[in-house]
Amino acid sequence: MFIHLRKTVSLALAAVFLVACGNKEESAVGGDAADSAELNVLLGSGASLTGNIAHLGKDHENGVRMAIEDINAAGWKIGGKTLKLSVMSEDDQGDPKQASLVAQKLVDAKVAGVIGHVTSGPTITASQAYNDAGIPQVSPSATNPKYTQQGFKGAFRVMANDIQQGAVLGAYATKQLGAKRIAIIDDRTAYGQGLADEVEKAAKAAGAEIVTREYTKNDATDFKAQLTSIKAKKPDAVFYGGMDAQAGPLAKQAKQLGLTVKLLAGDGGCTPAFMELAGDAAEGAYCSQTGLPLSDMPKGTDFATRFKEKVGQEVQIYAPYAYDAVFVLAEAMVRANSADPAVYLPEISRTSLDGVSGKIEFDHKGDLRNGAVTVYQIKGGKLQVLEVVGGDGPVAQATAAVQATADVAKEVGAATVKAVTDAASPAVAATK
């Protein structure tokens, strides 16, 4: 009886395989027939599809897939052939160690370009392998300055970096919010620590005192010990350098402990997930994004609607940037008339793209030129724009006060560039 069953099962399986193979052959033949007209290009995507920040990695991947669908539908031509992009999506678990394996895998698969990774630690570790293989890498969301300071020709990012973000946050906390005593807590990742360092510099430069630096981890859920220490130092404001999954419970626990001071976070904590997790403790918190608000992005509203339709979820934060990153690569391929990394890589630095997130042009390091930083306050469960520094957003041009802060931010930024270069290496070494 058992043997019988087994036989049947294996026969059925064999049949399935045969059918599957048949299909594959058929499609391969179909591809061959159309080969004269199609150029198949494989891109790589490295993101945290599992682990603590899997929701942000998926946001990234959805952005990439949407861009590829759009480009394929548009039928761009390279060397007379229609460009057909596909993606090899790999999971770095948000872990720098895993990211180097992912990078090797993508390099071995000979991808023509990489979109990724999500956080700075994985991005920086992976960038070495891509650089060695001459494969261009565009990160939609890694904000640590070190990423583009390694002198890699193929390393680009499509959002502002943490020198800009930290300068704006630090100056905002001190000047606009009037915080004189600031406590900082970070998650010891390249992103969290890097941003915290920048905020510290900017806040000090603007005349505030950093009363304490506390530390947690990017998989922690309990922050009461650190928050109690912070409470003892009586700060006016607390800055958290890390992701939303920690920022949410942290805000909640601060409230439980009676630490009712202004709470600030960077882009990693500026997501719908943060607001949901912190609940009413998020009310009144400040956070920044290294880009324009989605509603102020030139094609932001349209993107948000289409994203919701396709994916069935709200944009967390990085999807528009991931979308733009694909376009950066594809457009460079079209301009160079080749999908060969060696040929089209130099074209990337000449990018001038009107992306979803805004105008994308790179400076000589691969950083976004004129990147915007937006400061929000959470009011009624929504992100409300307080000010936009840099970028071409309408809000940025409207207010004079904004320009003033921008100048402060620029000064601070310029003053700290050198210091950052020195400080960045330990920051990266300490990643996880």
Residue 164 binds another protein, judged by CB under 8 A = no
Residue 65 binds another protein, judged by CB under 8 A = no
Q: Do 173 and 408 meet the contact criterion of CB atoms below 8 Å apart?
A: no
Residue 221 binds another protein, judged by CB under 8 A = yes
Min CB(155)–another protein separation in Å:
27
Task: Give the interface segment with another protein, choosing from 95-103, 172-180, 273-281, 321-329 (CB under 8 A).
Answer: 273-281
The candidate with the shortest Cα–Cα distance to 164, out of 304, 372, 398, 341, is 372
Rank residues 73 and 309 by Cβ distance to another protein and give the closer one.
309
Residue 252 binds another protein, judged by CB under 8 A = yes
Give the Cα separation of 210 and 199 in Å (integer). 10
Residue 245 binds another protein, judged by CB under 8 A = yes
Instruction: State the DSSP H helix or E strand holding residue 89, giving kind and residue range, or none if neither.
Output: strand 81-91
CB neighbour class for 223 (10 Å; exposed up to 12, middle 13-18, buried from 19): buried
Among 101, 209, 215, 335, binds another protein (CB under 8 A): 215
Residue 50 binds another protein, judged by CB under 8 A = yes
Rank residues 32 and 276 by Cβ distance to another protein and give the closer one.
276
Residue 260 binds another protein, judged by CB under 8 A = no
Residue 212 binds another protein, judged by CB under 8 A = yes
**Strand ranges of the sheet holding 382-389, from the earlier edge strand across to the other edge:** 209-215, 181-186, 237-241, 262-265, 286-289, 373-379, 382-389
DSSP assignment of 73-86 = HHT-EETTEEEEEE
**DSSP classification of residue 379:** E
Rank residues 277 and 332 by Cβ distance to another protein and give the closer one.
277
The 3-state DSSP composition of the chain as helix, strand, coil percent (nearest 5) reads: 50, 20, 30
Residue 89 binds another protein, judged by CB under 8 A = no
Backbone angles phi, psi at 22, to 5 degrees: -55, -45
Site string for another protein, 276-295 (x = CB under 8 A): xx-x----------------
Task: Give the interface segment with another protein, choosing from 98-106, 149-157, 218-226, 401-409 (CB under 8 A).
Answer: 218-226
DSSP assignment of 219-288 = T----HHHHHHHHHT--SEEEEES-HHHHHHHHHHHHHTT--SEEEE-GGG-SHHHHHHHGGGGTT-EEE
Residue 117 binds another protein, judged by CB under 8 A = no
Rank residues 68 and 227 by Cβ distance to another protein and give the closer one.
227
Residue 214 binds another protein, judged by CB under 8 A = yes
Residue 151 binds another protein, judged by CB under 8 A = no
CA dihedral 401, 404, 409, 411 (to 10 degrees): 180
Rank residues 56 and 353 by Cβ distance to another protein and give the closer one.
56
Q: Do 137 and 114 meet the contact criterion of CB atoms below 8 Å apart?
A: yes
Rank residues 235 and 249 by Cβ distance to another protein and give the closer one.
249
Residue 42 binds another protein, judged by CB under 8 A = no
β pairing state of 181-186 and 209-215: parallel
Min CB(253)–another protein separation in Å:
8
Residue 57 binds another protein, judged by CB under 8 A = yes
Footprint of another protein (CB under 8 A)? 49-52, 54-55, 57-58, 188, 212-217, 219-222, 224-226, 228-229, 231-232, 244-245, 248-249, 252, 256-258, 273, 276-277, 279, 313
